[in-house]
Structure 1
């Protein structure tokens, strides 16, 4: 069988070389231009490959057109001005997606589709998530070189004497993808999952059966596409599968994680987007359902997608140095530039978070007790010579004392639905804001280190006075909720509270709009997109889901073996049920109030009512469990 190809690197090839490859591999029948709108949806279409090969130069320049109905760009691609062009990106990997169910008769090979990551161009310019990241990368690189050129003191801290020693600046990143797999139609037992999670019975344990096979094949598939997969393992959530026959398993319910190596930020974001389709197809072939939801099961660990971010300087002599690493790794955590970058993320996190946590599902994950970061606080480690990892903070320093190139930051708040393109864009622009402050204030290591370690209500050069930004403690055990809110800021509880940061922190928004990276048009469009998805999901999915749950909370006791406690518990349960969903002539239920507030676009009221609903649903679930556990038998 002729060997299939899985990716093409166009920036290392001439157009004619690309054409020869495609003409040689006639099993590649289609081309798809993959663009990502502001709602994190990516396009996928089938264009006969001949349309590309007939005039490849024109295709790569002009791309294809759409009427905008396939993308989510409110306020930009409106119904009366919907023309959007998909323009191929020639500076990233192109992937080939093979359909094993569609064998080409002429080649006896699976039919392939060339997937080209692309940009969206409207009359107002490039308006997609990938183009925002491209502008952020370009602006960051130019600004860093200018800052180092004008401030040789910081150039010397990197072991350099002249700006001409630097060939280029490269923003590097990697993501860690967590997800849940299960056998179809299998209902989860929350108590078993919670107990197993508490005992860490599944964490990094051996996979078996179809999960093991699918995990191994996923890693192999990712490597075919040039991902350089590093590791796949069980995460904290899950319960052991049951043997249902010879080599057959049932009741599979497991949480997994797959990681791959660092790359430049654009390629990392593309990899993260494409990987989900690759992994999903492998697991589905083995009869397993897979979900990339942030919180697929209430009361059990959700799925994160930690983003690692760093900056490398490529030198003319061929060497690479880390922009954040100090010369003496044993005495200092970071150099002043690295400390500034970290402070920039912390100070501006209110305008980063709307890109990180943008859905109802994502907010369900951010709960105390599940190692999910809810406090805007960092960790450096207990000392420079002994690096450590604090899993309770928002962002931590990752370093290897023997490998300065490994120095980076791990942002722990993202989840699999996070828009990686927009998140990385806002993170690097915020880094730049902190670096500029360090250099403008001429801070050395000690001054910058003291700035990051400031106490609450102490004066500072850059960070906010009434905040604390570093902790090496378990922030959930060491601080009370009141102290966490006081020191690290009160975290948003709903999509509306989060997206409102764009209006509340107007000065911080300037960090995003520098260099025209995030235009006001794009920020407004993103806000509309996220608000619409929030209210639509709330009204049409969450309310219906909660209604179905409430209807399952039925009276289970009769007159036999019933106690006064059972009666009291049921009365409490029934009262909550009625308050949540039962209307009367004189009183509207909470669900009805939410629905009406959505219809009237009273988003602040919707947000407040959603918080009340979430609290009541948790109380209802907990109380019903107590009620059931006290019954000797159930009455139909």
Structure 2
């Protein structure tokens, strides 16, 4: 994208149409005033997190604008990720516009309209996917239903239990005009010059020395980052900052003065919004990052763990709840009236309890890929167990970066109280994650309020030790730690205190059947349905099995083949010979079949083909461990050789 074009057109283009201007007359008027907007696209988000995009000529849209805004368009649902819902013989899916959120104009800065001289735009309208005229089956619909259910239930609870409002500083439930759910995400990602091969040793060293974190960006990375931040503000996202993250190495300047060998990790933060709008904003932010950096010749990846052995990319997700009062004031429902006396209100404590108690059925939406689980390992500031931190004392808020969920507080600003869920990554389906988080928080809020618990009583309950029996949380678990959970606990202790984390996608998916009572929390209010969960599980299972057999195994085969004997008959030690024999044995165990024994790769393929996913999952872990051993041993073997055969 040209920075000159962006600069010259600033103020002349319309980047968004707010929810307050979605009447047929207003939309038609805006489109007619901006002839550079040539297309309209209805954007539904399937259960795989994929957004639809179809180019409807704007003239056709304006001709029948009321019909488009009311009935949307029909599409072939078998082409989106809705398994066991939209099948080949039952594929009708309608895409219906959502008038409650902002609509964005997607400009193609590489395609300039000859008449206006402006980049050609597409009005992208966030929408719902409706199967067979009745069932909402998309990710946005699930989140919209979760928001509505949460708001109505909380309002009912505080009306029936007015003691809760006293701890928040609200006189009566009659003073509440609305319950407002707010959310925000952070976006981390890697950028590099095309064909650049990662040098893990250099990246790891740079990370350990913190040579990149918060350092000044230079060259095309700086330009692309600045243009991205400028564009995000044009779209009303409210940029807070963009900076280098911990991963990466310093770029090099070539003889022509251009930068090459770029490999850097970045983070972009923007302001919170209402929950459904926040998820839509994140979808837009990813698109802007991808297209802007690509325009400067840089590859972008949002993968959770694009490079094994160095920092992965997170997308910490912030969630909060407030009450908008009839007098115009806003009260944070997580904040106590006296912020120096209590960490949170009973609603806040209940929400945190509900999220952690039921996290086993949230996690399948968070860690749905092999890549996501590769990120969630000790040593990289990524959470591996179900535990929260609220601060060492009420007076000194802390930010423990080793836990799953942290309480964020600002003693000078009660409106800032919220939870930061640290497990999501940029490839997650944020719509489903937020829906699951709010459903589980509501379960805990309901239990806490109906039990008549005060903030101090709930703090004591939440701080329970392993084996302590409390009114809501599970006896054989602990839920709070203000210590570094990686330093303070051994792996065995972490598993005992906070539960053993799933190690594969399959282990995560079986939580839906292993924890039926927790799954029922998702189903409350019809937010998730059995059909939605089943469809999501099928889609995720297919993705995991396909990636395992058609990407991970072939990649590992290439690595096994690359591990070759490097020593000759001269200048070789007995250690070289022994190391090579160990290496060769591992290579055969992984890849070589015989008449009497099948290799690990073959066993995994056969387990997947037969639908024996338990076995495939266990064998995947064995494969990962064996590959790790092979990599380490081969590095030691190479390091000891003076001459290569």
Distance 2:463 2:395 in 1: 18
Of residues 525, 528, 532, the one that matches 1:515 is 525
Are the equivalent residues in 1 in contact too, given 2:342–2:456 (CA < 8 A)? no
Q: Report 1:83-162 matches (<5 A).
A: 83-123=92-132, 124-162=134-172
Q: Distance in 2 between matches of 1:10 and 1:166?
A: 23
* 1:380 paired residue number: 390
Task: Indicate the SS of the match to 2:38.
Answer: strand
Displacement of 1:634 in angstroms is 2.0
Q: Is the 8 A contact 1:43 1:70 kept in 2?
A: no
Task: Report what 2:306 is aligned to.
Answer: 296
- The worse-fitting range, judged by mean Cα deviation, of 565-574 and 169-178 is 565-574
Distance in structure 1 (CA, Å) of the matches to 2:575 and 2:334: 61
Tell me, in whole angstroms, the C-alpha distance in 1 between the residues paired with 2:488 and 2:465: 16
Deviations 1:15-59 (CA, angstroms, capped at 9, x unpaired) = 211110001101100011111111111111111112210111110
Please, which of 50, 58, 64 is the counterpart of residue 55 of structure 1? 64
- Tell me by how many angstroms 1:101 deviates: 2.1
- Matched residue, 2:4: none
Aligned-partner Cα distance in 2 for 1:267–1:432: 20
> Secondary structure, in 3 states, of the residue corresponding to 1:424?
helix
Distance in 1 (CA, whole Å) between partners of 2:155 and 2:607 is: 50
Q: Distance in 2 between matches of 1:166 and 1:353?
A: 33
Deviation, 1:13, is 4.6
Q: How does 1:166-181 map to 2 (within 5 A)?
A: 166-181=176-191
What SS does the aligned partner of 1:86 have?
strand
Deviations 1:470-493 (A, max 9, x none): 001110010000000000000000
| Residue 346, structure 1, aligned to residue 356, structure 2 | yes
Worse overlay, 351-360 or 581-590: 581-590
Q: Match of 1:588?
A: 598
Q: Report the CA distance between 1:11 and its aligned residue.
A: 3.1
Q: What is the Cα deviation at residue 447 of structure 1?
A: 1.0
Match of 2:519, SS state, is: helix
Specify the alignment match of 1:408 in structure 2: 418
Q: State yes or no: 1:21 paired with 2:30.
A: yes
Work out the CA distance in 2 between the residues paired with 1:245 and 1:291: 28
Q: Distance in 1 between matches of 2:560 and 2:222?
A: 37
Report whether the alignment pairs 1:253 with 2:275.
no
Structure 2 residue aligned with 1:473 = 483
Assess if the C-alpha contact under 8 Å between 1:85 and 1:120 holds in 2: yes
Alpha-carbon distance in structure 1 between the residues aligned to 2:584 and 2:377: 26
CA distance in 2 between counterparts of 1:45 and 1:245 reads 44
Paired residue secondary structure (1:142): helix
Correspondence for 2:534 among 524, 529, 535:
524
Contact kept, 8 Å, 2:169 with 2:336, in 1: the verdict is no
Matched positions, count:
635
Most deviating of 389-398 and 620-629: 620-629
Is the partner of 1:119 in helix, strand or coil? strand
**Distance in 1 between the 2:239 and 2:330 partners?**
22
1:559 is matched with: 569
Alignment of 1:94-493 (within 5 A): 94-123=103-132, 124-493=134-503
- Match for residue 36 of structure 1 among 45, 51, 64: 45
- Alpha-carbon shift at residue 620 of structure 1 (Å): 0.9
Contact 2:478 2:497 in 1 (8 A): yes
- Secondary structure at the counterpart of residue 171 of structure 1: strand
Q: Stretches of 4+ moved more than 4 A in 1?
A: none
| Counterpart-to-counterpart distance in 1, 2:110 and 2:222 | 23
Task: Tell me whether 1:617 sits opposite 2:627 in the alignment.
Answer: yes
CA distance in 2: counterparts of 1:543 and 1:276, whole angstroms: 29
User: Which residue, out of 77, 81, 91, partners 1:82?
Assistant: 91
> Cα distance, 1:245 vs. partner?
3.0
2:581 alignment partner, one of 568, 571, 576: 571
Tell me if the contact between 2:21 and 2:27 (Cα under 8 Å) persists in the aligned partners.
no
Deviations 1:238-280 (A, max 9, x none): 1111111354111111100001000011011011112111111
Mapped partners of 2:247, 2:111: distance in 1: 36
Equivalent residue of 2:409, what SS? strand
CA distance in 2, matches of 1:245, 1:261: 41
1:539 aligns with 2:553: no
| Structure 1 residue 107 displacement after superposition | 1.5
Q: Does 1:503 align with 2:513?
A: yes
Q: Deviations over 1:309-349 (max 9, x none)?
A: 00111111111110000111112111111011001100000
d(CA) in 2 for partners of 1:589 and 1:221? 52
Contact between 2:22 and 2:99, CA under 8 Å: does it hold in 1? no
Residue 74 of structure 1 and its aligned partner are, at CA, apart by 0.6
CA distance in 2, matches of 1:241, 1:130: 40
What is the rounded CA distance, in whole Å, between the counterparts of 1:633 and 1:197 in structure 2? Answer: 31
